[in-house]
Structures are given as C-alpha cells and as structure tokens.
A and B are shown apart, each in its own frame.
Chain A
Amino acid sequence: MGESKLLRKLPTVKTLSRKQIKTTIYVKTSTPYISALKRIKKFLRDLPKSGSTYVVVLGMGKAIEKTLSLGCHFEQHLGKKVDVLTKSVELLDEVSVDDGDGDSIKDVDRETVLKKRTISGIELRIYP
C-alpha cells in the first residue's frame, strides 16, 4: 500500500487586475538580486503610466531576506520611502490519497487532495 505524500506545492492564488500586474513583483529565491533591482526601477519609472502610487514587492518564505535587502537598498541608498508589511500567506499543497494502487503507478496518476498551509510573507511598498 502506498502512503500519502506531498506531490506538488502550488503557488499562491493570484487574481487579475491590470494595474496590479504592472506594479507587482514577486521575488523568488532564484531571482538574481541585480535583476530584481533593475525591474523595480523600471516599474518605478513607469508608475505614472499605470496610474498607481507605489510599487509592490512580494516575497515569502525563504525569499523574505532577499526582499528585505531590496527594500533596504531603496530606502538607504536611493532615499525612497519604503513601507514594510508582514503578512501570512495561504498556500495549497497537493497531497496524494492512499488509494491502494501501491507503487505501480506514476505520481501523475495518483488521486490527490488539496491541503492548506500558511507561511509568512512580506510586502514592500516602494514609493517613487
């Protein structure tokens, strides 16, 4: 008998709003620091176009440290106003159900259920 195991970690739930898409950056652990800096600068430059007042930088889990160091750079070196907000982020995990098929089938073919998990995240608001 196979036991239930974690098959896939799902990303956060994102919703569509054009304004938000054009002003939000999600920082990953694999995002290079300089690339993130450049992208934020580009977003700040284009703020008048999108009609928003600040750029949002989001990071969760392992990426929090990198996100905060980005915030520090904008606050201290470039003298921008930066708001830091902490939040808890709800995530979903895809966990396989023990359906008695054993190890004979691939992971893709297993029945799954979604389980909720909460982790901490951080939001920076960088003003031009």
Chain B
Amino acid sequence: MSGGRKQLNKNQQFKRQKVRDARTIRAEAAGSNELSESGGMLKVQEFIGSREYEIRQLQTAMDKSKAASCTRVFQSLPRKLRRRTASHNVKRIPMRMRNRALREMLKSDQTTTSKSGKGKKHGLNAYQLYRAKMSARLLRLAGKCTSMKIALPADVTAANCNLRQKLRVLRKTLKPENRDSGRLLTNRTGSYDNMSVGALAPIPRGRVKYCKRQRHFTWLPTHIWHAKRSHMIKRWGFQVPWSPTQKCFKMAHRLGGSVAASDGALCMDSSFYGTMILRDLSGGDSEPLKELVSKLTNKRGVIRKYRDSKTWFEGFVHDISEESPVVLGEMDLLWIDFGTALIRLHPSIYTRVFEILLQKLPEGLQIEDCRYALGSITLKGAKSLVALSSILRSSGPSSSYQQLKRISRVTDTSNLPHRTMFAFNCVDPRHLSRPRRVHTSDVNGVPTTDDIVSLQNDFPLEEVTAVLKRLCTATERDQSYNNQQTLKELAKRRQALLSKTPNQHKNIIPYGSEDPSIPLLLAKRQQNKDWVIVLPWFWLLPFWHQLNRVSRIYHFGLRQQQQLNYENRKLYFPDDYPFTEVGYAENTYKGDALRSRWQKKPLSKRVNFEKIPGLHKDSVPAFDGEIGDAFTCDWKLLQLLRNGLTFLSEKPLKLVEVAKTSQFGPNGVREIQTVNDIFELHKDLNAVDQTLSDNPIKLSVPGTSSGEQQWQEPIQLSISQTALNVIPVSCTYIERGRPRDNARIYQIPAQDREHWQKVKNGIYRADGRLDHEIEHPVPSITDLIGFITSGAFHLGEGKGVAHGFIDAKTNDFQYVLIRNVGSTTYRMASIDIINI
C-alpha cells in the first residue's frame, strides 16, 4: 500500500458526498445585470434581488447541512428529554419518533431491549439461596398483611430485629384466629395517621423492604421518586433533595423567579418542614394559648390580622425558655380557630422548639407532633395555580374551590391579597387519568381585578375553618385514608368505565360515596412568594405524581430554594441567619468544609491567605494577610473589632504603639490600648477555644437605641462577651464584578469619599467607555463593618448582588466597599436594609 489518502468505502463516500452537497451555497452568476451598461452604476432593484437570493441560499444551505449531520432520531430531542438508554430501548423515545427509531436500530443491526423478562439466574450456594428466598418470603408476607388491611406488627418495623423473627411474627398475625386481634387498617395501601400527643412521633412505618435504610435519616414520601432525579443530602434527620441531577440554574431563575416571562412552575416536596399543632382542650377563646404564641413570636403572631382574620404568618420563632427573647429561626403560623394553632418549622429547629414548648406548656394545653402526619408541597412560578387547578377536584360543592378555579389563570402571585387561602375536601388525584385544566365553561373569561377584590371580601371563612379542623384532627386524617385505593383497583374501575361507554373518552373516574375525600389546604406565602399545599402524609405521593405530569412543571431542591430566596432579596434559613444558633453552626460547618478542601490542594495551587500584600492602607504587626478566618464570615473578629473600636474611641485612635514593649498589664492580662491589641486578643481567643459557645452577634431591634455602651472591667471580657448588634443588608454592585460568599464589607473612609463619589458617577475613558482600570484608594483595617453571607451575580438585575450583615452603628447608610476573600479588589456597592 502506498501512502496518501485512505481509500473510503462506499458508505463513507456517500456520507461525505451528502455533507458536501448540503454545504454548497449557490450564488447568482457574477456580472449579470446588476450594473448599468457603462459599469459603475448600480441597478438597485437587481442588486437587492440578487442579495436576497444569496441570503436565501445561505439559509437553505445551513438547514440542509444541519439535517445531513443528524444521524439518529433521538439526537434531535431537547436536552431535558434525552435518555442514555434510548439507543437500546425504544420506549424511551417519544411515540411520534418511535417508528423511525426502530428502523434505524434495525439498520445498524443493534441489539434492542424488548419486554423486561426474568433476569438470568445466577448460581447461588445454599446459604445465599436461603437468604434470597427468605427475604422474598418476607416481602410476600408483608404484602399479604397490607392487602388484608392488617397493620404491620411492631416487631416487624423495628429495623434491628432479625429476619426469621420477623417472618415468625408475620405468619402469626396472618393466622385466621389472630387476624381480628391485630390492629386493622382502613385501606389496602398501608396508610395510617402517625401522630403523637405530647411526644415526638416515631418514624413512619414505611415498607418492610426499606425499613433498615431509614434508621437514621427518615425518607420523604417521595424519596424514591427524588432519589432517581435529584442529588440528595442527609441532614436534620431527613434525606432531602439538594438539587436536580440536570443543570437547572437558569431554569430556576426563569421559571421560579417573579418575572413576567415565567411560563412554568417549580415544585418541591417540603414535607421535611415539621408541623405541630397547639390545642387548647377546653376550647373557646383560649388565653393561655394566645399568651404562649405571643411569647413565641415576640407579640407578632397574635395581632388581629393573624389571629382573627387567619392570615398565614411568617416570622421568627423565639426561645421562650430564656429571659430575653432569642431568635431561633423562621416559622410559619396559622390559627385554625381561637383554640388551635398550626406551626410549621424548619427541621433543624423543630425538635428544639418542640421540647421547649413541652416544658413550658401551660395547664390545659396540648401539643401534637404532626411531623409525619402532615406533608406539604411548595410551588413557585407563574404556572403553579394552573397546575394545581388541573389536578385538584373538589369532592363536594365548595365555594373555596370555586374561588380557586376563578383565579387559576392568574400568573402573578404578588397581586393577590395577603390572606389568599383555599381549603376544601379533595378527590384522590389518581381519579384523573391525566391532569387537565378545569373546563373553560366553568370559568367565564379572564380573571379581572374584581375577582381579586372578591377573593378578599367573600372569603369563605367558616367553610375553610371546617376543612382546616378536619386537617388538624388525627381521627379525621385517618378517616381520609378510608378506602384509599391501590393503583390496580383504580385501573380496574377505569377499565369498567371505558367498557361501559366505549366511545366516550372519560378522563375522570366519577367520585363515589365510598371514595375518600382529602382535606387539603393551599395557602399563599406572601414573603416567600410561593404556594404551600398541606395535606395528610400518605396522600402526598399521589398528588406529587400527578403534579409532575403537568407540562413545564419541574422539581427543585434546597439549592434552588436558596437561589430563589437570594434573587428575591430574602434571607435563607439557615445559611443567611448567622445571628441564630443554627445559622452560626452552619457558618462554621461550611467553613470547615472549605478549609479542608483548601488544605488538600498543593501549596503552589492555593491562595496563601497568610500573606496578601496591599490588602489595607495600614498594616498591624498582628497579621499580614486575610482579615479573620478566610473560610467563614468571622463574626467573632467583627464583634471584637467593632466593640474594641467603640471602646478605644474615647481616646485618639492608634494602630500600634511603637514605643511600648510589653502588651500585658501588671496582672498578666492583655491591655487594650491600640487596634493591634484587638487583633492580638482575637488570636488569643482563637488559640484558647475554637468552638465559641456564645453567638458574637445579635439582630438589632429597630427603634431601640442602645445608648452609650458601658464597658466594665476587665475590658477584654466585656468586649468579647457583648454581642454586636447587626442589621441585614442587601448590596448591589455599582461597577462590574461578582461578590462571593464570605466577602468582607468595609465602610468608605471619610477621606476617600470624594473619589468614590466620582466612581459612582462613572469615570470614562477617552473612547467614551467606562474605565475599570483606575487605582482606587484602599480602606483601613478599622473600616471593616460586616460580612457577606451569600453573594453571586444576580441574573435578574444583571449586576453583582450580595446579602450580608453590617454593624448597626454604622453612620453612612448608602454605599459600602466589598472585597472578596483573598483578593485586593474593592468594589463599590449601594446598600438597602432588608426588612425582616
């Protein structure tokens, strides 16, 4: 064989020719009649005509070459719908493409997957075979138990019990003479109400197969669904979806943000948020309950708007066991009636609050743990109401449901009144063979402002309260599981319906008197800008499945919730709540993770935080690099620095005393006389104890002026133990740049104000563009006023936006400087106080 080009076979030649043909672009012969006879002059009409022809040819060439390069039909599917298994199993390809896909598979002589048959039996030894058979037997017996409506015995669900014991117990319960003695269920699906009064409820008894996997972290009702499609994290006693497996940052921004361009919705199974119910057993207008809730919410939760008008409350929960109210975290509150209140809490603080309440519970009050009795789904985005109205059907006449139907086409949630709430008894969503929007004949025309006003004025309070009471009573919830049907039973009914009236397509199985009716609450959350459905735990899965069949409805996880909160300029619990105990721990936790990742890198590949030249205008001997801990928001340092500066402000401020040699007083305690001493003190404290128990910062209460701070001897202790008042702010970059988490916030020094004013107005280059290469004056160490808890590039604003906390005593509330960790670039940002 000689060198040169490789000989192509027939098929390759054909392919190459096809691509070549597709890429040829025709042009009209040059020098036709575009020019005038004498030359030089254009004939406009002909000139335009031939350019038009060229553009058209280019367009067709592009289309043809695109078609020529596409080889298999599944390659034309959008990213969301691509499946790796589609090249083996045609069922992964949409129906309309399936025939072509089959042809292509045959052409390339490919092995295809047909119906899933029995897998190959592997050679097992006697012991392995015995084990396999035993576990199969266990599943069969457990299945028999549930289908005979017998509750699983307690021994079976205990995960540490051995297999043979479980089998024995199951066989015993199934014996005819024992059947009646066992606890009977109301349905064949194994659903029951898992609530406990005055104690934390046990983990729900799931299926026998998965008992052992839920020993430490409970599964959500939709766990298996989520585990296939999301990255999960194990936290706070639950396995929680963190983020969908497919990339979704921009999608979450587009669909979930409050923008007019959103044409879909996002949903999350938020069942890990715990629900508890406080109830006054005596009934009537309960004073002790009112007082308790008042203390819990720092007087806010009992205001007329919430207690009398039953508006959904979002606010802070306070620790009532302490003297002064300490914020524990976020909470949702809904008054069912004057003697009953429903409280929803984040799982990280749920048990804490529950135990505090249990201790401080006044006489006559009862606390019910409904963590595993009530589940919830959170929805965000324009299509949420449309999606919900297409899966929900009321089981009886209900004015609340009529209201929902009436406004279901409204996309923008923010123009509905604060108290927008729907509660009705709902039909099992599986009755619908596919989600379909309510008939247009039921809803006349587009919703108008009148409808929205009527939503507020004609609120069916009594009807809603009746359903809410049903939702909050254990027996009623149990009642709702009555006759909960299996998929098989439903399919049978659907078949019967179709064979009775064969030519008519029926989408819904008619609701019968035997069918369960599910109490359901759908509430708008004003501040979070989302919708929450609360419903019994074992009903959540049918709703979830049906909801996810609506087009352009996607699921999201905690990561997206954090992102959307950030975009709404709202703090996210627990990451943006460093003034609470949980939030502070989260800060440390995230810092540790970052630090260990940094430590794993080789020396040459990582930023040396110990030595960063040009960071500040002045340096002190105490440190030479990044200010404070480089991996966290170093609140301890901020507290020491700000308190120390207030203390030192009585005398002229000195950074370092050069003439002095000893920094210690006569009794061996460090003296605080210069700024350097404060940083030395910070070092000392860090060396002594890494885990500082007391939170160094606290949320400033607006309106209460703290007055002059009184410092007591010893000063060191006083400085390090007086919590610093901080306020949450949202910073928007004025220039280019992108803030990151843990960035540092500085105030603008008085002497540089003029320069930064110029920067704000814009300094331009000679060519009329903004100049970004200016030398900025650097602030001093003492100008540090806060930290950024979450910062990124805001897609909605098109600018860098960051949320953080600054010292409440800052004088200038307009502009600040922000610097990312490890860099020496300062960016100017305007600040707004976040109202919480």
Contacts and interface: CB of A to CB of B under 8 A. Distances in A.
B378 to A, nearest CB: 19
Given A11-B415, A101-B303, A114 B386 contact: no
Interface string A17-37: 010011010100000000000
Between A13, A94, A109, A112, the greatest number of chain B beta carbons within 10 A of the residue's beta carbon is seen for A13
B446 A101 contact: no
A18 B303 CA distance: 41
Count chain A CB atoms within 10 A of each CB in B261, B449, B452 and give the residue with the most: B449
Contact of B260 (A24, A99, A112): A24
Contacts of A114: 417, 452-453, 456
Contacts of A26: 260
B411 interface: yes
Contact of B386 (A13, A14, A16, A112): A16
Interface string B401-435: 00000000111101101100000000000000000
A16 B303 contact: no
B205 interface: no
B89 to A, nearest CB: 31
Contact of A11 (B304, B414, B448): B414
B20 interface: no
B382 interface: yes
B166 interface: no
B411 A15 contact: yes
A37 to B, nearest CB: 16
A22 B386 CA distance: 18
Interface string B257-290: 0001111000000000000000000000000000
B304 A14 contact: no
B263 A22 contact: yes
Interface in B442-462: 446-449, 452-453, 456
Contact of B412 (A13, A18, A90): A13
Interface string B295-331: 0000010011110010000000000000000000000
Contacts of B453: 92, 114, 116
A12 B448 CA distance: 10
B383 interface: yes
B409 A16 contact: yes
A101 B309 CA distance: 15
Contacts of B263: 16, 18, 21-22
Nearest to A10: B415
Contacts of B262: 21
A21 B303 CA distance: 40
A91 interface: yes
Interface string A52-95: 00000000000000000000000000000000000000111010
Contacts of A6: none
Contacts of A94: 417-418
B418 A90 contact: no
Given A16-B386, A22-B263, A111 B415 contact: no
A14 B260 contact: yes
Contacts of A92: 415, 449, 452-453
A41 interface: no
A101 B304 contact: yes
A11 B414 CA distance: 7
Contact of B447 (A11, A15, A18, A91): A15
A13 B262 CA distance: 14
Given A21-B261, A114-B453, A116-B449, A14 B412 contact: yes
A25 B540 CA distance: 37
A110 interface: yes
A90 B449 contact: yes
A14 B303 contact: no
A34 to B, nearest CB: 12
A33 to B, nearest CB: 15
B459 to A, nearest CB: 12
A1 interface: no
Contacts of A105: 300, 303
A1 B383 CA distance: 41
A21 B452 CA distance: 21
B412 A112 contact: no
Contacts of A108: 835
A112 B306 CA distance: 12
B305 A111 contact: yes
A93 to B, nearest CB: 10
A125 to B, nearest CB: 17
Contact of A111 (B309, B382, B412, B446): B309
Contacts of B452: 13, 92, 114
Nearest to A16: B411
A105 B304 CA distance: 11
A94 B412 CA distance: 16
Given A101-B303, A109-B303, A109-B305, A13 B449 contact: yes
Contacts of A116: 449, 453
B105 to A, nearest CB: 31
Nearest to B386: A16
Contacts of B305: 99, 109-111
B448 A13 contact: yes
Contact of A10 (B304, B383, B409, B414): B414
Contact of B446 (A10, A15, A24, A99): A15
8 contacts: A13-B412, A13-B452, A14-B410, A15-B447, A16-B386, A16-B411, A21-B260, A105-B303
Which 8 residue pairs spanning A and B have beta carbons closest together? A10-B415, A15-B409, A90-B449, A21-B263, A16-B411, A109-B303, A14-B412, A111-B305
Given A13-B449, A15-B410, 7 more contacts: A10-B415, A15-B446, A16-B382, A16-B409, A26-B260, A106-B300, A113-B456
